[in-house]
Amino acid sequence: MDSSQKCKIYNTVIIKKDLFKEDKIGLFAPDGVEFIYNVLENLGYYKDFSKNFTTEEARSHGLQSIEILCDLELIEIFSWGIHIPKISKRDFSKRELIEYLREVWFVGASTQDFYSMPMIKYKDWYLKALEEKGLTHTTHWKTFVKEEIGDLEQWIEEVRP
Amino acid sequence: MRNNLKGIFSVLIAFITMLIFFSGCEREQLEEASSEINFPKLEGRTTTVKELLRQPALRDKILSLSSNSQNKSTNSSAIQIDTSFVKIIETNQYDSYTFQVVQDSIEKQFVLRNYILTVVNDSTYVQHLVDYTVLSGHAYDMDHISLTQVFGDDLLPSFIKCSSTITIPYTSCYMVHCNRPGQHTDPEDLDCSAEIRAYEMCVTRWLFLEAGDSACSGGDSDGVIDDSGTRNSSGGSLSDDLVIPVEPNDGREVRPLVTVSDTTQAFFNTLNNPTEIALYNFIQNFHQNELRREINDYLRSGLNSQEAQDFVKWLIDFAIIKEDPTPCGWNSNHDCLVSINRMAQGLRRFHGAQGAEVAAYFESVLSDINTSPSEYTVNDIQEIYNVALNITKQYNSRMIHSIVVGFVDGVTPIIEIALFEVGGIIAVRLLQRIPLSWVLRGDRLNNLVRKVGLMGEVGAQNSIRIVKTNAPIANSRGIFNTLTKNKIGNFVTGSNGSISANMGNGNFIIYRPVTASTSNFPATISLDFRAGGIWTQVRNVKFITP
């Protein structure tokens, strides 16, 4: 079952193309997925008060996005948080990870709760490729993507080892 | 006229010879003797460059020197003059025009440089550069003036062209007139108010004697070096000797002292004693007219008690500190740590409980510096000094304007100064020292958090700030500890090493010594103040080594 089928009950479904749109491109910044709340922030939650980030829909959107990042083989787990599963931080199956996240990410979780949940990081090859392209800590991400990379989705495929 | 000048020169040469002979002569004797000389009658005024540009003879010279094309980088000896304020000295023999030379801000702290163009007989131009060493309180060291004759448009100094000069000091006075009520001779001087009409201005001048140019000409003293740098022995030539009084032009006009009440003046006069003479000299200077007005209002408000008079002494003492242009330095004459300590004493003495709190804060910072001096650069000290100065200034200003003891809130400006005017490493250090009362929950904490969330530089996204500091973990933890002094309950430590503090009303501050973004952010403070309405997103302040 793919993510689009799984989430049909909600008004919107996150697909890969959505994540590369300008309003969500912050997700691909080096800090864009650090905590679960960072993922939600980059999906437009928090900024938009009408989008409640504690709902099941928000969780579904977050998990769909993480799935897509898994498909792109861009992310790994930096730390598991309070509950440590028997899953490798790097060599996990997407199914394993999403099931685990669904387990620890309960509906109604607050920002404070997210601090005790898994921390995600981008893989080193991606971070290194960005650095080689000229990204620094103080480079404005959206401008960098627009001016230095262009089509981020395509560029990721080009630099993927 | 030429004979007259020769006569003057002869008298002066004789005088100088005596001076050399009696090398032990005191300065008072010298001034007394020089006052016997019959100097040309002086008249002084100020003007704008517009007036001067109407004179064709001056126009080209002024335009060439005030032009931006005169660039120091292209000609090391070139200068650029500031034409916004020109001082004119007029005699029956010559007119001299004194301009400020454009200087960078650092140089201006130490020396005031003027350019003097003297026009003799409307035809011969003599140029000088004058340097005045800057003292405190807008004063200049009139005993050690550096005066250099310069030549031509390239303004080569005299030691290249060979010229001998002799200078001796004297004082003279002249009237500054108003041509109609409430106006000086310069109708564009908007500062001229009806209360300041014609007045006598007495200034210390320097007599400049140029003994021809015999050093260059081998004794031929009939001609002079004119503006083009060539010898001019034709009509309109200058005599062998020239008497040029100089007066510093720092862009401010000399004005009379603001009159204060008899009571206030009587109080000022009590300062005229050996231990407080510095305060007396400072406040009896027209540059301090604004302070004189403020003190007068303060003392006339019914607070002329001993306490009020002591406060006024502190105000003058602080103004002296404030106007000391000498930068801080371990080896300079300005020991800024001593000055900060003086400010602390004043704050504790005159500014109630909050003043005492700020004083303790200053002393805490001083203690840190004295304990670990090697951790502070001269620039760090200068920045801390500037912060202390600004904070104290605000307290004094509030005191004088409110004319009551105590303040509504002294926290906001302190924080703003610490974080915005200083920034960087020193802001971090100053922040770590602030007392609990400045980070109470509620508006005070929100205000501080708002500033902390603007520290450093913006990161990849607007919700991220990057602060570069040599000790990122220690400094970020120090700030976290400071901000969370008034947290609710205990810290909550997460499995990833994060430490969370509940600041009430749904606001949280989280410190974590790890990052998942890249490996080189040793520490992050997350400010979750969405409930406080400060930011819609969690603000992440990441600390990193430079």
The reported pLDDT for the residue numbered A20 is 94
B517, A31: Cβ pair inside 8 Å? yes
Collapsed DSSP state (helix, strand, coil) of residue B371: helix
Rounded to whole angstroms, the Cα distance separating B222 from B72 reads: 35
Other beta carbons within 10 Å of B426:
23
Q: Is B241 helix (H, G, I), strand (E, B) or coil?
A: coil
Chain B residues with CB within 8 Å of chain A CB: 457-461, 463-464, 466, 494-496, 498, 500, 508, 510, 512, 514-518, 521, 528, 530, 536-538, 540, 542, 544
Higher pLDDT, B533 or B334: B533
**Which pLDDT tens digit goes with each residue over B486-517?**
889 999 888 778 899 998 888 899 998 876 65
Going from N- to C-terminal start, the domains of chain B cover 2-232
Task: Confirm whether pTM is higher than 0.90.
Answer: no
Q: Quote the CA–CA distance of B304 and B462 in Å, as a whole number.
A: 54
Q: Is the pLDDT of residue B352 over 60?
A: yes
Chains A and B: how many Cβ contacts under 8 Å? 87
Beta pairing partners, B128: B116, B149
Give the 3-state secondary structure of residue B10: helix
Give the mean model confidence (pLDDT) for residues B272-288. Answer: 85
Through-space distance between the first and last CA atoms of chain A, rounded to whole angstroms? 28
In angstroms, the CA B363 to CA B345 distance is 10
Q: Do B516 and A120 touch (CB under 8 A)?
A: yes
Question: How do residues B11-63 score in pLDDT, each as one tens digit?
Answer: 344 434 433 333 333 333 333 334 444 556 666 665 656 666 667 667 777 77
**Higher per-residue confidence, A69 vs B226:** A69
**CA atoms of B474 and B482, how far apart (whole Å):** 12
Report the distance separating Cα B484 and Cα B506, nearest Å. 14
B527: which chain A residues are within 8 Å (Cβ-Cβ)?
Answer: none
Closest CA to B484 of B467, B500, B469, B505: B500
Question: Cβ contacts (< 8 Å) between B537 and chain A: which residues?
Answer: 41, 46-47
Mean pLDDT taken over chain A: 87
Confidence of residue A19 (pLDDT cuts 50, 70, 90): very high
Nearest-neighbour CA in chain A from B446: distance (Å): 19
> A49-72 pLDDT, tens per residue?
778 899 999 999 999 999 999 999
Residue with the larger pLDDT of the pair B294 and B79: B294
Q: Which of A90-104, B46-60, B516-530 has the highest mean pLDDT?
A: A90-104
Residue B244 has pLDDT above 90, yes or no: no
Spell out which residues of chain A touch residue B530, defining contact as CB-CB under 8 Å.
Answer: 46, 111
Burial of A48 (0-12, 13-18, 19+ CB in 10 A): exposed
In contact, B198 and B177? CB cutoff 8 Å: yes
Does residue B92 carry a pLDDT above 90? no
Chain A: give the shortest CA distance to residue B516, in Å: 5
What's the complex ipTM? 0.83
Residue B164's pLDDT is what? 45
What's the CA gap between B540 and B459, in Å, rounded?
9
Give the confidence band of A155 by pLDDT, cuts at 50, 70, 90.
very high
What distance in Å separates the CA atoms of residue B196 and residue B182, rounded to the nearest whole number?
7
**pLDDT given for residue B419 in this prediction:** 61
What is the reported pLDDT for B203? 54
Q: How far is CA B146 from the centre of its chain?
A: 21
In one letter, which amino acid is B122? D
Look at residue B233 in the predicted model and tell me its pLDDT: 29
- The answer to whether B528 touches B508, Cβ cutoff 8 Å, is yes
Contact B142, B118 (CB under 8 A): no
Q: Do A47 and B466 touch (CB under 8 A)?
A: no
What is the least distance, in Å, from the CA of A4 to any CA of chain B? 28
Parse chain A into domains and list their residue ranges. 3-123
Give the contacts of A133 (CB within 8 A, at least 6 positions apart). Answer: A144, A148, A149
**What residues does B170 pair with on adjacent strands?**
B205
Q: What is the pLDDT of residues B158-177, one digit of tens each?
A: 444 444 455 555 555 665 65
Instruction: Look at residue A97 and tell me whether its pLDDT is greater than 50.
Output: yes
